[in-house]
Amino acid sequence: MKDFEKVGDKERHGLIRPGYFIRRLNRIRKMFLYGYRYDSAAYIRKMNHLGARIDDSVMLYKPETIALDSTMPFLLEIGRNVHITAHVNILTHDGVWMAMKGNDGRVMGHVAPVKIGDNVFIGRYCMILCGVTICDNVILGAGSVVSSSIDVPGVYAGCPARLISPYEQYRERRQQRQADEAYVIAERYYERFHKMPPQEIFAEYFWLFAERNLDKLPPVFLHRMTLGGSLETAKKAFLDSAPVFEGYEAFCDWCIGKFWMKENSTE
């Protein structure tokens, strides 16, 4: 129970957190507009109730825009740590036969299972057609159309989706770019606000400078480690690694040094 002697009148009357009530109202509005598609977890529960096999760790971003085929949902299987972004379509059937039927009157369906493995990212406006299997560790670029199965981990994009980069090569390239990408964030923030940003803004780059002590991690950093349901793996990887910089101040000093070099090189 709260100690009401120590809280102000606004908190007692629930007025200190207007954002909370706005979020609640927006959630209720979405429930009326979109039904079970208003929320990622609700959407997944509904699909699983209808026969799909979708892991609880799957995340649907803007679920009201996502179409998971409900015609035969028991043909859909999605593994662990899959991230499905806005306006994605995943189909277990198509209706082409209806157009073909105009020629000979035949009814010929095309229905086939879709299986998506673990650790998959599906970019905006992707379409996955029926009969497709996607292996573990695949990244689909925005707007990709997956019309045939993917059995090699990597980055895929295009229509039809084709391999752009093997997974390990892409992961290595991303890792090598971490410091430079974080520097650009710091540079733009400094140009705009004339000061270095708070460390929390680097929520996806904290491995560069954070002390390897879980008890000292800011909540926003720890939250990033929980995403995808692999917290224990993330903790172990974090503790077994070493930072590039000896703390956030050292990272800031490195950025400021690069600012100075850039300014003087243009004079």
Task: Identify the pLDDT of residue 12.
Answer: 40
Q: Taking the CA atoms of the chain, what radius of gyration do you get in angstroms?
A: 24
Q: What integer pLDDT is reported at residue 82 of this predicted model?
A: 97
Q: Is 18 in the same domain as 68?
A: no
Residue after which a domain boundary falls, among 113, 144, 165: 165
pLDDT of residue 135: 98
**Residues 138 and 205 occupy one common structural domain:** no
| Any domain includes 126 | yes
Domain that holds residue 221: 177-265
The percent of residues above 90 in pLDDT, for the chain, comes to 72
Residues 89 and 144 placed together within one structural domain of the fold? yes
Q: Is residue 97 part of a domain?
A: yes
Do 4 and 78 belong to one domain? no
If asked whether residues 121 and 237 sit together in one domain, one would say no
- Three-class HEC string of the chain: CCCCCCCCHHHHCCCCCHHHHHHHHHHHHHHHHHHHHHCHHHHHHHHHHCCCEECCCCEECCHHHCEECCCCHHHEEECCCEEECCCCEECCEECHHHHHHHHHCCCCCEECCEEECCCEEECCCCEECCCCEECCCEEECCCCEECCCECCCEEEECCCCEEEEEHHHHHHHHHHCHHHHHHHHHHHHHHHHCCCCCHHHHCCCHHHCCCCCHHHCCHHHHHHHHHHHCHHHHHHHHHHCCCCCCCHHHHHHHHHHHHHHHHHHCC
User: How many folded domains does the chain comprise?
Assistant: 3
The structure's pTM equals 0.81
For the chain, the residue count is: 267
For residues 61 and 129, membership in a common domain is answered with yes
Using the 3D structure, point to which of 165, 185, 217 is the last residue of a domain.
165
Q: How many CB atoms lie within 10 A of CB 4?
A: 8
Domain membership flag for residue 120: yes
Tell me the CATH number at 65.
Answer: 2.160.10.10
Instruction: Say yes or no: 137 and 150 in one domain.
Output: yes
Residues 58 and 134 in one domain: yes
**Angle at the Cα of 16 from the Cα atoms of 15 and 18, rounded to 5 degrees:** 70
17-21, 156-160, 173-177: the lowest-pLDDT one: 17-21
Using 50, 70 and 90 to split pLDDT, how confident is the model at 100? confident
Same domain, 9 and 121: no
pLDDT digits (tens, 9 = 90+) for 210-265: 999 999 999 999 999 988 777 899 999 999 999 999 999 999 999 999 988 887 77
Q: Are residues 25 and 61 in the same domain?
A: no
Do 104 and 24 lie in one domain? The reply is no
Residue 171 lies in a domain: no
In a domain, 2, yes or no: yes
Its sign, for the CA torsion 255, 257, 258, 263, is positive
pLDDT tens-digit map of 169-181:
999 999 999 999 9
Residue 172 placed within a domain? no
Pair 124, 62 in one domain: yes
